Structure formats: C-alpha cells, structure tokens
C-alpha cells in the first residue's frame, strides 16, 4: 500500500473519533513495504502535529467543508498538505502520489478536488498563512480550547509550551541500576560511538543526541536499559522506597514505572500492579520479563477495591492517574485531534475517585505519590487541593526535586525542548485512618 494512503487511513479513524494513532496506525503499517514504515509513521504523526494549521489552510482553499463520510479524503488532503509544507518530498511527487491514492478510496471525484487544492496550496500557502497567523490557533498549531487553557493557566509559558509540543521529542533512556551505574553505561555508549549526555533531574536518565533503534543499544535485550522519558523517571525516587515495603502501582500500563520501582529497590516485599484492561497488561508483562523482574499484575478498575485488593495495606502507592495527556503531545500529537474541552472535568472527577479508593488501601504512615502527564492544573493541583480538603487524615509532603514549577499543591513540569515531557507530581502521607 502507498504510505500516503496508509497514513491517511490511520488519520481518518482519528478524525472520525473512532481511534487514536496508537490503535489505528499499526494495522496500516502492516500493509506497507518495510522500507516505507518510517515514512508512513512520519506522515501520520507529522500531519496530526500540524493539523490545526493544515486544516485552516484547507478550509481557505475548499469551497465547502467535507462531509463526515469523506473523512478519508479529508485525511488524504491533510497528508498531501503536510508533505508540501513540512517535508522534503518534491512537490510534484507530493501532489501526484497523493492524488493517485484517491482511486483506492473508490472516490474518483476526489482526484480533481485533491489536485486543485494541493496545487493552489503550493502557490498560495505563504500569502494565506500571512493572513491566518493572526489567529493563535493557526500560529501555535493547537486547537482553540487547549490554546486558551494553556494561555489562562500559564500566561508566561504558554507559547514555549506550544513550541515544545510541536518539536520532536528526544529519545531518553533509563539505566537499570541493578546492572550498571549511569556513568558506566554512558561509557558503553561512548565506546559504541553513540553521542549522549546525562539527564538533569533523573539519576538514571540519559538523553541520546539522535534517536536510535533501541535493539542496537548495548545490553537492551539483557535488560540494562529501557526507553522512558525523564519526567516519568522521577517517580521511583520520589516514592522514598525501602526494603520490606509492599508497593501498589495503580494504572500501571505500559509498566515503565513498575519496572523502575523494582530496579530502584530490589528488597521490596512485593509490587502489585493494577490496570483497567487485561490487554494493556501484556506490555507490562513483556517489560518485566525482559528486565527479569516480578510483579503481581491484576486487570481491574482501581476504584473497585473489593475486586482486587486483599485487604493488606500498602506502604507506598504510585497513582499515575488517567489524564488528558496534554503534557506529552509531542509524543502523541493526535491528542490535538482526540481531546476536547469537556473531557477535562470528567477526568478530574475520575482522578478524585481513584485517589479516594487508593487512600483506603494505604497504611497509616504510608506515602501516596500522585502523578499525571497533564499540563492542566484542573487535573493536578486542583484535584489534590480538593482531596486534602475532604480527607482529614492526609497531609502533603514536599517533593525532593527541583524539576518543574512549585504549585499550590505539588510541582508542575512543563514540556522542554530537548528535555523532559510535561508531568505533574504531588506527594501525600497518611497521618490517620478515616473515621467511621
């Protein structure tokens, strides 16, 4: 299959609200030649990244908007525009190959439309963008609700956040301290001719100068390293782990933090890792096996403690709560297409319910670390503030890191170009059991 068609089909599922790229793209990648997989991926992710700009341009050039049934043609047009504006594909190939894909959609009328719009875009895009860029949605390539939220919450940082969200994320490794110190592993990378440097905030983190196939890195198969963003790597040390503790990792998939907890403290009494769907635990299991680690995996709704908890309290809990993922847009640009403003209050509600449920399973004197990969205080400091108000036995502890910006509760890390993702942490201690 033509990589342009594969990318458009994956995107069409996202535009129709039926899937994320993570779920729609793998099926399409299986249909293209091996040599085209990287290109297909770039087309899908790149188009999603710049979609607010590309759609604004398309709107100017189209006489009428697409019908819902033609999301595939719309996606193909956006893929064509992305090639013209953001890649090195020669314009004649970008236009010719994209138009040629319309036959495969069984919509012959689309050929003329695609050809006309793409040729006009090639000629007129600079003049059109000069006019459109007065709109911050077009200028920052973020949907209006998100652009407005970021501006309201982060008036000084919002443009830098948008820029970081549109940049390619760096590849960051986590060194498994059971095998090597970070310095020792940096030495192995130098020997292999791979340029890298230590991360600023994570003691186990290394940022590679250029992305590489992880399988080609020293000791990957042997479990010496994992790929994990620096912000996510802070969780294990912020938990203050010690031998003999029983640890819960709630909402654990894909398992990076579960594994890091086990790497950081080999003498734990045990780790229980819960996630909503059994299929999400497959990845956790694979990661544990590669690293030679063990945890008890349970598929259940974290809120339904009766379904999964054995009544023995935990000394440490990591609650990496489901969230808008607005801190990791650079890794998942389709969040711009799939997230809506009204998702946020519902997520904050769920986060509060998970906190209440997990709190019951925490021992008095135990610590719960709340984390999200959201950049929005509605899901972060406000959730923690509300929880502290309704939970007399909870107190907040300071976080032992200088990463991010101190908030009324917890710390907010904002996405940094060449550095960590957007992330949030707050640390709570249980000083008394609930009455009643």
CA dist 35 and 46 (Å) reads 18
Q: Considering Cα of 373, then 375, then 378, then 382, what sign does the dihedral take?
A: positive
CA dist 356 and 3 (Å) reads 47
Write out the H or E segment, with its range, that includes residue 308. Answer: helix 305-308
CA dist 350 and 347 (Å) reads 5
Report the catalytic residues. 373
Name the strands in the sheet holding 225-227, side by side, starting at the edge strand that comes first in the sequence: 196-198, 205-208, 172-175, 225-227
Q: What b/e string do you get for 217-255 counting C-beta neighbours within 10 Å, with b at 16 or more? A: bbebeebbbbebbbbbbbbbbbbbbeeebbbbbbbbbbb
Q: Comparing C-alpha atoms, which of 296, 426, 435 is closest to residue 364?
A: 435
Angle between helices 37-61 and 109-132 (to 10 degrees): 70
Supply the DSSP symbol for 379: G
């Amino acid at each position: 299959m033509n990589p342009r068609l594969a990318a458009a089909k994956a995107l069409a599922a996202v535009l129709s609200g039926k899937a994320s790229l993570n779920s729609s793209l793998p099926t399409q990648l299986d249909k293209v030649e091996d040599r085209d997989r990287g290109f297909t991926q770039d087309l899908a992710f790149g188009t999603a990244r710049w979609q607010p700009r590309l759609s604004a341009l398309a709107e100017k050039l189209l006489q009428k908007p697409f019908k819902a049934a033609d999301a595939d043609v719309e996606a193909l047009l956006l893929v064509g525009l992305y090639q013209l504006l953001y890649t090195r594909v020669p314009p004649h190939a970008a236009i010719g190959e994209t138009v040629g894909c319309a036959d495969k959609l069984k919509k012959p009328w689309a050929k003329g439309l695609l050809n006309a719009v793409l040729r006009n875009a090639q000629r007129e895009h600079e003049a059109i963008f000069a006019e459109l860029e007065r709109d911050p949605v077009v200028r920052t390539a973020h949907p209006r609700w998100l652009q407005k939220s970021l501006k309201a919450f982060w008036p000084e940082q919002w443009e830098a956040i948008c820029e970081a969200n549109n940049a390619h994320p760096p590849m960051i490794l986590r060194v498994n301290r059971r095998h090597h110190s970070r310095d020792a592993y940096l030495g192995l990378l130098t020997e292999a001719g791979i340029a890298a440097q230590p991360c600023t905030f994570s003691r186990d983190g290394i940022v590679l100068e250029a992305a590489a196939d992880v399988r080609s890195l020293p000791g990957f198969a042997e479990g010496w390293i994992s790929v994990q963003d620096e912000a996510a790597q802070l969780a294990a040390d912020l938990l203050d782990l010690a031998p003999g503790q029983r640890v819960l990792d709630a909402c654990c998939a894909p398992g990076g933090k579960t594994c890091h907890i086990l790497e950081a403290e080999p003498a734990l009494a045990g780790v229980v890792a819960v996630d909503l769907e059994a299929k999400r635990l497959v990845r956790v299991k694979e990661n544990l096996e590669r690293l030679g680690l063990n945890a008890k995996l349970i598929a259940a709704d974290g809120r339904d403690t009766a379904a999964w908890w054995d009544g023995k309290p935990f000394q440490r809990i990591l609650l990496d709560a489901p969230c808008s993922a607005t801190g990791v847009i650079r890794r998942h640009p389709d969040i711009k297409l799939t997230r809506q403003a009204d998702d946020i209050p519902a997520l904050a509600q769920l986060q509060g319910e998970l906190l209440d449920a997990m709190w019951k399973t925490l021992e008095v004197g135990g610590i719960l670390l709340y984390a999200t990969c959201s950049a929005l205080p509605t899901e972060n400091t406000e959730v923690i503030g509300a929880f502290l108000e309704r939970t007399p036995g909870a107190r907040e502890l300071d976080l032992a890191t200088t990463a991010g910006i101190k908030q009324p509760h917890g710390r907010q890390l904002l996405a940094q170009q060449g550095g960590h993702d957007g992330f949030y942490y707050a640390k709570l201690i249980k000083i008394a059991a609930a009455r009643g």
